[in-house]
């Protein structure tokens, strides 16, 4: 198998010479002519039944060639047989939960994880029973109707790491879903560690430029079929223009992750020494749970971190108000640096008890480090923290 840097550039492009193109084609058709009715009905049955492709795409809700192309590329990056693309990361998770409901309906979940994921699970909206547990409790909390174990590692927003191999062993016959959005295939491949499903909010690092909303689930072909059935029935297919932009973003994925990670390691050290910061949560500093998994499970500490402002909420809000180069906005994994307040934004829908238990405090900020010059990122962050301090004194 080629190295990840090569796969990121070439995966999904294997037929370009035959097509006589250099850039991925975009198929924006909503429907496809059916001249041979027998072939059409056979194709319809295949796609509605979860097949990856058929002789005729029939209708874009069932299949789109541009989406299919990027799915194949991401599957190669994750080392899985299949990848199923959705219109967002939350649509991907929803499909997973609907499939889990058909297999038992009880789901074990390790916190922390993305706030809206937490909210969807806790709400029971998808008809499943989510039980939130510590990773060490999985073997004890399994039931006959447990259909799925869900973890996110690195975790959002505290960057805790979860031992995927240990979770898979504890789960036994129960499939494990790993949200690997923060790590990307560049730094972590959960399927190689036994995970049945690997999920990404492709909006983040995979797209990488803040212009795509998409989600993917990578898994075996057998497990992909019911996920495609849900997608076809609910209309959750990724838009072909989004698929095109996502595929274009993949080509620079390894370069972007490596540069952003190098910047993050530098920024994390500087933050740890700053008088306005009480604590930095970053695997590369050894300050997160299971940080020893960097170098084992993960090939690097990544480009995300969180840090606690010593003066709490007021200082955190002031930093967001005073950054200039860094964008104060939710999301992550873009070429530019983004900072946001988990308690007030991404995790606002999480219960106060859960936020307290997982360290999501009013003074916590999450920083997604971009690929800008590291000294420029730091200069902006430092001036914002200094101005925040003056605002607090005033």
Q: What percent of the chain has pLDDT over 90?
A: 97
Residue with tokens 């898979």: 168
Catalytic residue status for 145: no
Catalytic residue status for 204: yes
Residue with tokens 């940080």: 291
User: Cβ(365)–Cβ(316) under 8 Å?
Assistant: yes
Q: What is the predicted pLDDT for the residue at 389?
A: 81
Longest dimension (CA), the chain: 77
Cα of 238 vs its chain's centroid, Å: 15
Q: Say how far apart CA 12 and CA 18 lie, in whole Å.
A: 13
Active-site hit among 76, 179, 259, 366: 179
Active-site hit among 72, 76, 204, 256: 204
Q: What is the predicted pLDDT for the residue at 127?
A: 94
Active-site hit among 114, 197, 244, 282: 114
Q: Say how far apart CA 213 and CA 211 lie, in whole Å.
A: 7
Q: Could you tell me where the beta strands, DSSP code E, fall in 171-233? A: 176-179, 197-201, 215-219
pLDDT 10s digits, 15-67: 999 999 999 999 999 999 999 999 999 999 999 999 999 999 999 999 999 99
Q: Say how far apart CA 235 and CA 77 lie, in whole Å.
A: 26
Instruction: Report how far apart the first and last C-alpha atoms of the chain are (Å, whole number).
Output: 59
pLDDT 10s digits, 138-167: 999 999 999 999 999 999 999 999 999 999
Q: Say how far apart CA 348 and CA 16 lie, in whole Å.
A: 45
Q: What is the predicted pLDDT for the residue at 394?
A: 42
Per the prediction, the chain carries an average pLDDT of 96
What is the set of domains in the chain, with CATH numbers? Answer: 253-393 (3.90.1150.10)
Q: What is the predicted pLDDT for the residue at 392?
A: 54
- Name 129's bridge partners: 106
Residues 6 or more apart whose Cβ sits within 8 Å of residue 330: 338, 340, 345, 346
Cis peptide before 349 (omega within 30 of 0): no
Catalytic residue status for 382: no
Tokens of 385: 């923290």
> b or e along 107-141 (b: 16 or more beta carbons within 10 Å of the residue's beta carbon)?
bbbbbbbbbbbbbbbbeeebebbbebbebeebeee
Element (H or E) spanning 101, and its range?
helix 89-103
User: Cβ(345)–Cβ(330) under 8 Å?
Assistant: yes
Element (H or E) spanning 257, and its range?
helix 253-272
Cα of 70 vs its chain's centroid, Å: 16
Q: In what order do the strands lie in the sheet with 277-281?
A: 277-281, 304-309, 364-368, 338-340, 327-328
Active-site hit among 27, 32, 59, 61: 61
């Amino acid at each position: 198998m080629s190295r990840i840097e090569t796969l990121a550039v070439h995966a999904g492009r294997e037929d370009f010479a035959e097509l006589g193109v250099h850039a991925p084609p975009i198929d924006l058709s909503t429907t496809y002519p059916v001249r041979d009715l027998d072939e059409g009905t056979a194709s319809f049955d295949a796609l509605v039944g979860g097949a990856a492709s058929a002789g005729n795409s029939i209708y874009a809700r069932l299949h789109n060639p541009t989406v299919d192309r990027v799915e194949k590329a991401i599957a190669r990056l994750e080392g899985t047989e299949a990848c199923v693309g959705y219109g967002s990361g939350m649509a991907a998770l929803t499909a997973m939960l609907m499939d889990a409901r058909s297999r038992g309906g009880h789901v074990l979940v390790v916190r922390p994880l993305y706030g809206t994921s937490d909210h969807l699970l806790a709400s029971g909206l998808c008809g499943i029973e989510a039980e939130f547990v510590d990773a060490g409790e999985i073997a004890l909390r399994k039931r006959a109707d447990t259909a799925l174990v869900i973890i996110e590692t690195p975790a959002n927003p505290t960057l805790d790491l979860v031992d995927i191999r240990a979770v898979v062993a504890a789960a036994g016959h129960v499939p494990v879903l790993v949200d690997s959005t923060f790590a990307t295939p560049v730094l972590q491949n959960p399927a190689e560690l036994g995970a049945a499903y690997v999920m990404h909010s492709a909006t983040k690092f995979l797209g990488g430029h803040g212009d795509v909303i998409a989600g993917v689930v990578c898994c075996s072909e057998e497990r992909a079929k019911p996920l495609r059935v849900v997608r076809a029935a609910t209309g959750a297919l990724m838009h072909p223009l989004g698929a095109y932009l996502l595929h274009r973003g993949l080509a620079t994925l390894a370069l972007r992750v490596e540069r952003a990670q190098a910047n993050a390691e530098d920024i994390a050290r500087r933050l740890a020494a700053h008088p306005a910061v009480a604590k930095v949560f970053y695997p590369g500093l050894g300050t997160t749970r299971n940080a020893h998994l960097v170098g084992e499970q993960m090939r690097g500490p990544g480009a995300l971190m969180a840090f606690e402002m010593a003066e709490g909420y007021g200082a955190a809000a002031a930093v967001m108000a005073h950054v200039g180069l860094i964008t104060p906005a939710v999301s992550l994994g873009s070429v530019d640096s983004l900072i946001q307040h988990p308690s007030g934004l991404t995790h606002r829908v999480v219960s106060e008890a859960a936020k307290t238990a997982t360290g999501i405090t009013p003074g916590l900020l999450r920083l997604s480090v971009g690929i800008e010059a590291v000294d420029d990122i730091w200069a902006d962050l430092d001036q914002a923290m200094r101005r925040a301090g003056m605002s607090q004194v005033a």
